[in-house]
Structure 1
């Protein structure tokens, strides 16, 4: 029997729908994954086997083929573990429910069946919302900001067993309350505290109002760096959507930050490489230009 569930793949910060298709046939014990998987995705079959066996499911005498569609897009990361395990259970008729295409699954699996967060999970959630999914099953991560969307339900599960029980109607997910956030964000630098510099401050205020680029020149010690560092304090505070965009970018870089209200300020060293500023590399990561999204990028010579 063939089964299919929906997952989200990432190309940088942009997401696309991945259909996890599984066919189970009588034959030798084997699991094959096709659809341009990388090493992390290829290793998923071992995690899935261990997780399902630890939960008591028998996979003997089964030839299982997993196709990640679209086949022309390279798949990376452990986010496919969870949907592949659900699709395998559907194909083996161990799970007898109907899962519409508007319901998605993202998450990594441990060997004992726990569903775990992964790098770039917030970007995948935001992509799922943009792609029109109505419900998304995912692991809870305390490092992420509070997430709630009127157009998409988020079902937080801690294990594969919980997800199966919820799909069969026997378990209710834990409701996470929004934590209290401080009303204001303080900083030791403030544009209003700069004395004099009337013409430079007027130029920066004009640039902030019109979202213009600024070139500041002058002798050393005249206050160029101070003006630039204080510049974010006259920009509008970040909206909730802008905060999530910023956090997802920093997570793709490997940083964990709280939900900031002030626009970011990035000040790369003048000897920084092009990859660190623009982004990319063997394992592509956002550069300083991306990390300054909705904020200020200060290039000092």
Structure 2
């Protein structure tokens, strides 16, 4: 029985990792404990004992869900680092529906404030349009303004925007958080447990037009969609921590049976998955929301 299971463990086309050759793709089925695969160095015949299955980003997130305040901050910062460039577009912001703040600039300030705090720095508000970045020893590192004219006319002011080098550095830093560190469990005002996922979706129409949106999908365990959670998803990403209650296999099954089909239907409804176009979807945030007793 063990030999049969080993023979079926890897299938052609499956992505794998080898301790010496790195990432590769299976070319032929397993025979006698060996398989043929293509690596960066070319084709090799290797024993299956030397291989590991290369998990997808979604699998890596769902297999490592945890609670904790630090985990929650990391997950939110990572999600914002992916989403902020998208919400610069008014049409993308309307599609995303992932923030209660009044503008993308407000979100950018919130993100930068939280991000620099992780470096023991502070972003202090001077007035409605001016912020000072302070180092750990109390020195002012930079003064930012949200007003383009002020930044142009005053040499000591730097315009705070997505293209500022400091902002680009923080966006890159938090976008590169390992998938294993962004799946969270939280407590919220829900009657039944809810799986909240946020997807970065890039669509391509038949005429070559490309569009990127952030799409939230929230479902209960029976597959029921929960629009109220989707509309306030940023709030739930910052909710108090809870202990995870689902096993990794349960999350994976729910995603395959309910979450991903719901995403497909949503994109079809919006016309993003119809006709000659195509789309790709990447999971950028996951929150397992358990009832806090007030739902």
Same fold (TM over 0.5): no
Q: Which has the higher strand share?
A: 2
Q: Report 1 or 2 for greater relative contact order, CA contacts < 8 Å, sequence distance ≥ 6.
A: 2
| Larger fraction in helix | 2
Category of TM-score, reference length = shorter chain: under 0.3
| TM-score, scaled relative to structure 2 | 0.21
- TM-score normalized by structure 1? 0.20
Larger radius of gyration: 1
